[in-house]
Amino acid sequence: MRIADFQRRIEEIYFERDRARGLAGTHMWFCEEVGELTRALRRGAGDGRKVELESEFADVLAWLATLASIAGVDLEAAAKAKYAAGCPRCSGTPCRCA
């Protein structure tokens, strides 16, 4: 799934409710999901935890997409504009910055 397709899908599912909550309230939910991802990463990927990690990464991506939509940002276009040429500072792939 392309980033733009994912962002549109998240809009179809959640946009009205998230927009009504507003950017600040939605950002708080995003931060909570980042915290859940952090806890999952600390536990590690072993012992069948890969599914948990995938779920937490997907949740963070979904909340990020929602924030972008509320702010009127096309995530795919923003990512392409900033990173298509490589590192934004040195243009290297991989980055050659000190």
**Which region, left, alpha or beta, applies to residue 21 given φ > 0 means left and ψ of -120 to 50 means alpha?**
alpha
DSSP designation for 49 = T
Q: What is the pLDDT of residue 48?
A: 75
Burial class (CB in 10 A: 0-12, 13-18, 19+), 84: exposed
Tens digit of each residue's pLDDT (9 = 90 or more) over 27-49: 999 999 999 999 999 988 677 78
Q: For the chain, which residues score pLDDT lower than 70?
A: 45
Q: What is the pLDDT of residue 23?
A: 97
DSSP designation for 2 = -
Q: What is the pLDDT of residue 83?
A: 97
Q: What is the pLDDT of residue 46?
A: 72
Quick one: which of 58, 55, 54, 62 has its CA closest to 12?
Answer: 62
Q: Assign domain 3-83 to its CATH architecture.
A: Orthogonal Bundle (1.10)
Q: What is the pLDDT of residue 49?
A: 86
